[in-house]
Structure 1
Amino acid sequence: MASNPRNGRPYRRLCVKQRALLLPCWLCGGAIRYDITGRLAGRHRDAFTLDHLIPLSRGGDLLDPANARSAHRRCNSRRGNRTTAVRQPVRASRRW
């Protein structure tokens, strides 16, 4: 049975290194709340998450430090798997 690579020691080490840099969010430029840790960090929108410049679903490397970026949880979730930080306009299925 294959395990989740995000639960592994190399991924956790990369997260610790990125968190130690105390960088602002690379998507919005705002300050990240690095003091939020533990269970609350998984739900708080201003908490630190490790984002990837090239999304994993688009061929990005999970453990490459050059692909790692600091982001707010809300910014990382909003970006999804797009390769650019610019939010794409939502298109309607028909003319209104």
Structure 2
Amino acid sequence: MSQVTIDIPFDEEKLKALDFSLKKENTSAQKRMEQALAELYEKAVPEPLREYVDSKSAPATKPRRPAKQSAAKPAASTVVHTPAIPERKEG
């Protein structure tokens, strides 16, 4: 996905003071603005539209090769052998 730059006019001295203060938190105005913009995007853009945009920027998947067709094996027949039951003679 291509990136764009957003220009926001802001007083230079205030930005220096802000960056100075945020440095204590190991962050910067730039990083915080990027986070805020990402949160705004998540909140304002409906999920189906976000999914569509994400799908456009996702790398194209490689087509899968068709599975090899193997020769059909004949179905094995199951033979059940039952022992012969001797007949009873009444006597």
TM-score class, shorter-chain normalisation, is under 0.3
Pick 1 or 2: higher relative contact order, CA cutoff 8 A, min separation 6: 1
Larger Rg: 2
Structure with the larger helix share = 2
Structure with the larger strand share = 1
TM-score, normalising length: structure 2: 0.26
